[in-house]
Amino acid sequence: MERYDDTQIIHMLEDAKTRKKAFEEIVKQYSEPLYWKIRRIVLVHEDANDILQNVFIKIWNNIADFRSESKLSTWLFRVAINESIDFVRRNKNQRSNLLGSDDDSLVCKLMADEYFDGDETEALLQEAVSKLPEVQRAVFTMRYYDDMKYSEMSKILKTSEGALKASYHIAANKIADFFRSQD
Amino acid sequence: MEKNKNILAKLKKYRNPFLVPDNYFEDFSKKIMENLPADENDNIIHLDSHRYSLRLKIISVAACFLLILGGAGIFFHSSSCSNSKLPESASSKAIKLSSRDKYIEQATDYAMMDNQDIYACLYDE
């Protein structure tokens, strides 16, 4: 099966006749990387699935407005990260199904989640990440799991590289403090 | 700083502890494409029209509420004004009552009219 690169997809997006095909390529190629970006921020599969659907609806609705001033992947990641941050903000007080239906800790809930395959230390890391403010959470996960460059992150989040570096270091310190408090 | 790095390094960096259901990504792509409208503008119209009708409903409810409030306000204002005035004479009260009764009678007559009566009435006029 033919695989189109971003330049070809952008070219196809410009023509209304090939726009749907271009969108199909975007869904095929970017569902997985977008999903993992979202999942590491929201932690729960069901939430990540809902957000991913919303992300593609937004992309479809605004696809005709896409200008190739930024990279296709940067635009897609920006939509996904912003949706995830909005979700975390909205659910801060009324936490999602898994995160706060009763008094159990997030670690216990993750360990019982059929879609979590980590050990207790990894569950503790997720709990520490969940305690970070939304943007720090996004910065930390992008840097820690994807090893994303600050320059790329800067384009996605429209924030200076210096601010992002500071944000990551603050997040890492908070996580280290969290682990020390567990000892 | 070094201590923090060690703690994070211990956490099996880059390991992804999350799982997804079997064939999730294949099924997801199919589902998204199957539910896509024929034209991207369709989707925008549906969403916008839904938002528009919702906004219209909210505005209508708010307008009705304001109308009721305003009506009640005017009614209470006028009744309090009339109460504060000097007592009306018996004759003026009687005229008011009789005109109100007349109005009620007329309204009842209109309400009891059937279609043929209305046509006849209009024809007469």
SS3 annotation, chain A:
CCCCCHHHHHHHHHCCCCHHHHHHHHHHHHHHHHHHHHHHHHCCHHHHHHHHHHHHHHHHHCHHHCCCCCCHHHHHHHHHHHHHHHHHHHCCCCCCHHHHCCCCCHHHHHHHCCCECCCHHHHHHHHHHHCCCHHHHHHHHHHHHHCCCHHHHHHHHCCCHHHHHHHHHHHHHHHHHHHHHHC
pLDDT band (50, 70, 90) for residue B62: confident
- Is the pLDDT higher at A15 or at B37? A15
pLDDT band (50, 70, 90) for residue B95: low
Q: Indicate yes or no: pTM above 0.80.
A: no
**What is the average pLDDT across B87-94?**
54
To the nearest whole percent, how much of chain A has pLDDT over 70? 92
ipTM: 0.82
**What is the average pLDDT across A147-172?**
94
pLDDT band (50, 70, 90) for residue A3: confident
Question: Which site among B2, B3, B18, B41 would you substitute to test the A interface, given the most A Cβ atoms closer than 10 Å to its Cβ?
Answer: B18
- Is the pLDDT higher at B47 or at B41? B41
Per-residue confidence (pLDDT) for residue B5, from 0 to 100: 62
Question: Which site among A13, A15, A30, A32 would you substitute to test the B interface, given the most B Cβ atoms closer than 10 Å to its Cβ?
Answer: A32
